[in-house]
Copies of this chain bind each other. A is one copy, B any other.
Amino acid sequence: MRFGPLIDQLMEAFQCLPGVGPKSAQRMTLHLLERDRAGGELLARALERALARVGRCSRCRNLSEAQLCPICASDRRDHSVLCVVETPADVLAVEQAGGYAGLYFVLLGRLSPIDGIGPAELGLDLLAQRVRDEGVKEVILATNPTVEGEATAYFITEQLRGAGVAVSRIAHGVPLGGELEYVDGGTLQHAFQGRKPV
């Protein structure tokens, strides 16, 4: 307690952010108090408002301020294609990459029985219902290429079998700009298995 309890509490509070330890928290606190009080006030207000008003989209489970997120509510998107991802950050990554114009379904996790995360927690009944009721023609599985992500993709494939919908998995292989020499073995194996005739 060198400056007083409020400053100490603020240094403590900053450590709830990912990647922020005691040193960074101290730097952030002193920076805002000494040099950028206006920015600090904006941050406090933005944080408060977002926490109060951001919930889930009732259709795709993504973070949203309204009952339907801007993507689900848009009539410029192709409502017959559904991309299944694990987290809202994955939605952002696909959107920032561009080129995809369908809708999303956010699992908010992956199948992980030890952590008590089963099909119900991932909203897979809602997914099946959307596929059934909304004229979905293709489901693209974009879960991560980890053991749990693959298991989740497999589970969803099985679940949607017979629903009359095309199910595909995004391609895994050598990333653009990657050099074979530096690519790991698993990725290379995937790249060979997933080869396409030219």
Q: Residues of A with Cβ closer than 8 Å to B?
A: 1-7, 9-10, 12-14, 16-19, 24, 26-34, 36-37, 39-44, 46-51, 53-54, 62-66, 69-71, 87-89, 91-92, 95, 108
Contacts and interface: CB of A to CB of B under 8 A. Distances in A.
Contacts of A44: 44, 47-48, 51
Contacts of A14: 43
Count the copies: 2
Which secondary structure dominates where chain A touches chain B? helix
A174 to B, nearest CB: 23
Contacts of A9: 46, 49-50
Most chain B beta-carbon neighbours within 10 Å: one of A3, A5, A71, A108: A3
Q: What 3 A-B pairs have minimum CB-CB distances, sorted nearest first?
A: A16-B39, A4-B65, A13-B46
A33 B63 contact: yes
A69 B4 contact: yes
Contact of A41 (B28, B51, B53, B69): B51
Contacts of A47: 10, 13, 32, 40, 43-44, 47
A12 to B, nearest CB: 8
Contacts of A48: 41, 44, 48
Contact of A16 (B36, B69, B87, B88): B36
Nearest to A11: B46
A89 to B, nearest CB: 5
